[in-house]
């Protein structure tokens, strides 16, 4: 009797598991499929981050060495910046607490204006690198992202450090901060955008207009 | 004779790292007074002045209280005075330095400006070595001494930079950095007239460095001003060469004072500290825009983000 009940129950359980299993399998597959489709194919590795910076540096060195005009070079640097940088994240960070009260339309207008402003500004800065070259050093994981150090060799100067911070949390590996001799883009631009907002007494729309008008 | 004494003082200070700075100053003065009894020269007198000034200045170094530090690790109680000096410096740059720098790099061909800057930088190396030693950086002292001899001999008195061509570069050091190494706090941010952005600690360092250059004690009178003269030209060269970048900070930014302050402090802390890794800000965890002060790596008043 005892044995019979046990066997019976085992069968029941097995059947139940089988049923649940049969039902769950396609659901699980679907969930997994969705997860794979929405998340980056692989977690970013040091190698991956280094590859991204290799790409940036390769492109920059190409522009530095090319026999093009200075104006053309600035355009090229802008293109490199837009391709490799996570501009929306950088823009949101530089707006600081004010990003909270900005409407989606303001956020979009600001991000567009910021993209042009920042790529122009740093494109000009990279003009100093003409005649020099940049070498990628090592990558390491810091917190949730990767730090890739490079050394810039400029004519007539001791080599100095340019560091890129790379993350794939935007969906693609992109850099979100850059340190030139310790001076970081996020903090410097937050100071600047903050000062522009102060000038307009916190009016985001007027600040965006000012940003657009900068050459 | 006195130069050796000065070197001994320097070493004595270095090997007493646990004493407070003020005690070191007294030690230094005592030693200098001993030197005075035997053979008082101008250099020793200048050394005493430097030490006294430093003692005075350090005792006046301000330390931030709670809530005194703005985001970005900025402690700026003298902001009103600093902003006045900033306007003065900007006016001076606009009227004099900027046009002179641009003209200099336009008229003088680049190989010549490069030679001038090589020469100035080579002449500053002995002073750097003194600070390398004060900071206990024997390797840096060795590299800089080697670089100095190599460029002086093979670079025709430092006009060329053959050491740089084979990868031997200057290991930067100054007395502001020495004070930092000795544990003197950064103090408040200051913008000095003519000299520009600094901190209380670096302002003292800049002054003392007028006296730490061994060449100024060794060289006879007209020659020792060559360094200063070429340094001025070299500065003009940099102003011309990096004109657009400097212009963008001084004239294009919404608040050029805040911008130069942020850039100076970041760069200086990087030079003195080195590694920033654990203090990096993560904008992906900061989508609200960073209202949480603890999310700001520079918010802690006493944390030098680049220290150790």
Look up tokens 């400097």; give the residue. Answer: B246
* Residue B116 contacts residue B233 (beta carbons within 8 Å): yes
The first and second tokens of residue A107, run together, are 């956020």
- pLDDT at position B16 is 32
How much is the mean pLDDT over chain B?
A: 77
- Nearest residue on chain A to B113, judged by CA atoms? A156
At A81, give phi and psi (nearest 5°).
-60, -50
The first and second tokens of residue A172, run together, are 């693609």
- pLDDT at position B21 is 36
**Torsion of the alpha carbons at A93, A97, A99 and A103, rounded to the nearest 10:** 180
Q: Which residue has the higher pLDDT, B288 or A118?
A: A118
- pLDDT at position B28 is 38
- Nearest residue on chain A to B274, judged by CA atoms? A182
The first and second tokens of residue A35, run together, are 């997860």
In angstroms, the CA B128 to CA A120 distance is 37
In angstroms, the CA A120 to CA A132 distance is 20
pTM, 2 dp: 0.75
**Taking 70 as the threshold, does the pLDDT of residue B23 lie above it?**
no
- Residue B301: band (very low, low, confident or very high) from pLDDT cuts 50, 70, 90: very low
Are B282 and A144 inside 8 Å of each other by CB? yes
Q: Which residue has the higher pLDDT, B294 or A56?
A: A56
- Residue B59: band (very low, low, confident or very high) from pLDDT cuts 50, 70, 90: low
Q: What percent of chain B has pLDDT over 70?
A: 71
Task: Report the SS3 class of residue A148.
Answer: strand
- Which residues on A lie below 8 Å from B277 (Cβ)? 140, 142, 147
Which ipTM did the prediction report? 0.75
The dihedral through the CA atoms of A131, A137, A139, A142 has a sign that is: negative
- Which residues on A lie below 8 Å from B288 (Cβ)? 97, 99-100
- Residue B212: band (very low, low, confident or very high) from pLDDT cuts 50, 70, 90: confident
Are A183 and B270 inside 8 Å of each other by CB? yes
Ranges under pLDDT 70 in chain A? 1-42, 215
Q: What is the 3-state secondary structure (H, E, C) of A76-142?
A: HHHHHHHHHECHHHHHHHHHHHHHCCCCHHHHHHHHHHHHHHHHHHHHHHHHHHCCCEEEEEEEEEE
- Which residues on B lie below 8 Å from A147 (Cβ)? 277, 280
Are A155 and B270 inside 8 Å of each other by CB? no
- Residue B215: band (very low, low, confident or very high) from pLDDT cuts 50, 70, 90: confident
Task: Report the SS3 class of residue B286.
Answer: coil
What burial class does residue A14 get, using C-beta atoms within 10 Å of its C-beta: 0-12 exposed, 13-18 middle, 19+ buried? exposed
Are B254 and A196 inside 8 Å of each other by CB? yes
């Amino acid at each position: 009797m005892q044995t019979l009940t046990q066997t019976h129950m085992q069968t029941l359980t097995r059947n139940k598991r089988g049923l649940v299993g049969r039902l769950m399998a396609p659901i699980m597959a679907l969930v997994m499929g969705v997860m794979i489709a929405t998340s980056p194919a692989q977690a970013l590795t040091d190698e991956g981050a280094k590859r991204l910076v290799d790409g940036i540096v390769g492109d920059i060195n190409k522009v530095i060495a090319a026999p093009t005009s200075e104006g053309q070079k600035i355009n090229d640097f802008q293109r490199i910046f837009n391709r490799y940088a996570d501009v929306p994240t950088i823009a949101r960070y530089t707006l600081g607490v004010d990003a909270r009260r900005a409407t989606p339309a303001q956020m979009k207008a600001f991000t567009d204006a910021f993209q042009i402003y920042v790529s122009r500004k740093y494109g000009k800065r990279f003009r100093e690198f003409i005649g020099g070259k940049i070498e990628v050093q090592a990558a390491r994981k810091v917190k949730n992202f990767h730090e890739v150090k490079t050394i810039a060799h400029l004519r007539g100067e001791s080599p100095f450090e340019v560091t890129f911070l790379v993350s794939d949390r935007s969906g693609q590996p992109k850099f979100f901060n850059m340190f030139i001799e310790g001076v970081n883009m996020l903090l410097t631009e937050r100071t600047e955008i903050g000062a522009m907002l102060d000038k307009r007494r916190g009016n985001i729309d007027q600040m965006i207009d000012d940003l657009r008008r900068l050459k | 004779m006195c130069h050796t004494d000065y070197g001994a003082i320097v070493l004595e200070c270095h090997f007493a790292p646990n004493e407070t700075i003020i005690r070191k100053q007294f030690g230094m003065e005592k030693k200098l007074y001993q030197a005075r009894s035997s053979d008082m020269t101008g250099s020793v007198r200048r050394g005493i002045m430097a030490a006294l000034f430093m003692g005075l200045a350090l005792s006046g170094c301000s330390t931030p209280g709670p809530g005194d530090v703005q985001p970005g690790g900025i402690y700026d109680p003298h902001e009103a005075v600093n902003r006045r000096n900033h306007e003065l410096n900007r006016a001076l740059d606009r009227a004099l330095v900027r046009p002179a720098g641009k003209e200099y790099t336009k008229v003088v061909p680049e190989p010549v400006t490069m030679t001038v800057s090589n020469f100035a930088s080579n002449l500053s190396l002995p002073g750097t070595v003194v600070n390398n030693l004060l900071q206990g950086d024997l390797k840096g002292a060795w590299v800089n001494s080697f670089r100095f001899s190599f460029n002086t001999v093979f670079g025709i008195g430092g006009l060329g930079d053959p050491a740089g061509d084979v990868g031997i570069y200057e290991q930067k050091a100054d007395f502001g950095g020495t004070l930092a190494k000795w544990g003197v706090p950064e103090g408040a941010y200051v913008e000095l007239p003519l000299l520009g952005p600094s901190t209380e600690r670096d302002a003292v360092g800049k002054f003392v460095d007028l006296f730490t250059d061994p060449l100024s004690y060794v060289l006879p009178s007209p020659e020792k001003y060559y360094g200063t003269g070429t340094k001025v030209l070299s500065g003009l060269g940099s102003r011309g060469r990096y004109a657009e970048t400097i212009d963008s900070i001084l004239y294009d930014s919404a608040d050029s004072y805040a911008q130069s302050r942020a850039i100076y402090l970041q760069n200086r802390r990087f030079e003195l500290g080195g590694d920033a890794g654990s203090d990096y800000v993560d904008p992906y965890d900061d989508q609200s825009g960073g209202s949480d002060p603890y999310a700001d790596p520079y918010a802690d008043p006493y944390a030098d983000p680049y220290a150790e």
